[in-house]
Structure 1
């Protein structure tokens, strides 16, 4: 009887401990402990590192940090589908890059157009619509589109460990923001349902907008101009414009996030910076210094030099995507 009670007690304690774990998809190790220790010290009243609620700001990159980004950014796949849908209205696209490459199915030709070509593509396929029309086009696409490699819906390719991390931070009084190079109007329609982050807490690359009255109804129209490229040094600018507070924690996965992490860590008081390092070629992708998408080179060196947390996806995460 005594042995049975001990076994039941041990099982109960193990179950309770697992239930109490705010990051169950994270393997025990340095990365998980660094997160837990930081959050505990800044939220514990009486701690010398205690941070008041209004200052508990955490910013997250999106592509490669909250969901996958290979073999191309998901917004690019959306833009490609938009080109195909709009092509009958634009016969000139048959000979004009980067549209011609898309219509021929030439991804290498598309990527060869570089950042300038991709910006041209996004501006041409996103502009002219009202924000409500664009939101509907994004929502409809998200509901039906599938990733070309995995066959999964794009919103099923979010990272379960990062969903847990954001929930944990919010439970501890943090306000979580997305700060991404992706388009702000592209992300806002689905981030609340997918991440629990409302549209007013999304910071992204922003195009021009214009107020108009169409058919007697006031609308906001998207313009073919870039107001803010929320990447690299644009990220701290976007944070200042949209949030107005320096984060105390920042999470990224590429050199495009480096300035956001630097800006965060340059503040006074306790700070936390984390890079997601893609090391799992079997369950996701493995890439860093030489990748054309999500390159992590300078950031990896700076993280090592400054003692930032670097998540080894293969070893630190028990699972990648949520279970279906």
Structure 2
């Protein structure tokens, strides 16, 4: 009888301490590292009544870059790959593109040459693929592409290439009363197609670059028409402007991965009161891609140099994350 009681007690102890404890452990997809501990400590301090750093729920605002922070961005920003696919799809309607740059190089698969024209070439391509239609038509085109297109090397749908530890972090923050926003250089209308389903971030909490639009009645129906003109670039110094314009409240947490996020991090962590800045450093050449200073996509150069002086946390993907993608 005694032995039976002992065995029963052991089984109960295992039940209480193993699966349940692991399930309740915050950020369980992160290794026990200074980065993980700093994030948990900050959330605990800012959400615990009586703490000197306690923040009321309305002040708990966390902003996240998208490309390279929430999902992959190599070998090119995924919206850029969408542009290239769209050019090929539209090419039969534009025979002149066979000899006209930058379209001709894209059709030949020479993306480097196509983008050699810098911002002018990029804007030309974006306008050819993003404008001249209604907002609903554009959303449908993006949704169809996301449902069918595959990453050129990983052969996965792009919305599968999200970072599992960051998805867990988003859930963790929201469970603690934080409101999560995307603040990205990517197109706002492009991201709004998938952000809610993929990240749990609704359209009204997704901020990005945009082209100009106008309202008109089309075939008796109210429509938003997309025009071939840049409206707002939400990158670099544009990010704090976008935050002030669309959120109207200074964040207390900011997560980025490149020099394009420096101003957002400075805006968030400058001044008094509790704040936290985090940079995702791509160090895992085996599970993802290792890059920083020399990369033409997601370049992290100055940000590496000034992170420590600004108190920003560097998340080492190779050592801090137990897994990278949800499908691992």
Equivalence for 1:243: 247
Q: Give the match for residue 219 of structure 1.
A: 223
Q: Distance in 2 between matches of 1:190 and 1:82?
A: 18
Deviations for 1:244-301, whole angstroms, at most 9, x for unmatched residues? 1110000000000110000001142100000000000100000000100000011111
Secondary structure at the counterpart of residue 318 of structure 1: coil
Task: Name the residue aligned to 1:181.
Answer: 185
Distance 1:133 1:226 in 2: 19
Give the Cα–Cα distance (whole angstroms) in 2 for the partners of residues 178 and 119 of structure 1: 23
Tell me the distance in 2 between the aligned counterparts of 1:306 and 1:66.
22
- Aligned match of 2:39: 35
Structure 1 residue aligned with 2:202, among 194, 198, 202?
A: 198
Structure 2 unaligned residues grouped into runs of 5+: none
Moved over 4 A (4+): none
Q: Is the 8 A contact 1:184 1:203 kept in 2?
A: yes
- The match for 1:97 is 101
Aligned residues: 324
Structure 1 residue 11: Cα displacement: 5.6
d(CA) in 2 for partners of 1:260, 1:71: 24
Work out the CA distance in 1 between the residues paired with 2:113 and 2:6: 69
* Match of residue 235 from structure 2: 231
Partner of 1:305: 309
CA contact (8 A) 1:31 1:310 kept: yes
The reply on whether 1:56 has 2:53 as its aligned counterpart is: no
Distance in structure 2 (CA, Å) of the matches to 1:94 and 1:284: 35
Task: Find 1:120's aligned residue among 117, 124, 138.
Answer: 124
Q: Please report the TM-score for the alignment, with normalisation by the length of structure 1.
A: 0.97
The alpha carbon displacement at 1:3 in A equals: 6.4
| Structure 1: gaps (5+ residues) | none
Structure 1 partner of 2:133: 129
> How far apart, in 2, do the equivalents of 1:93 and 1:229 lie?
27
Question: Residue by residue, what CA displacement relative to the aligned partner does 1:293-319 show, whole Å, maximum 9, x if unpaired?
Answer: 000011111112222111000000000
**Cα shift at 1:86:** 1.3
TM-score, L = length of structure 2: 0.95
1:110 CA drift (Å): 2.2
Note if contact 1:97-1:113 (Cα within 8 Å) is conserved in structure 2: no
Distance 1:187 1:18 in 2: 33
Aligned to 1:77: 81
**Matches of 2:173 and 2:71, distance apart in 1:** 18
CA RMSD of aligned residues (A): 1.4
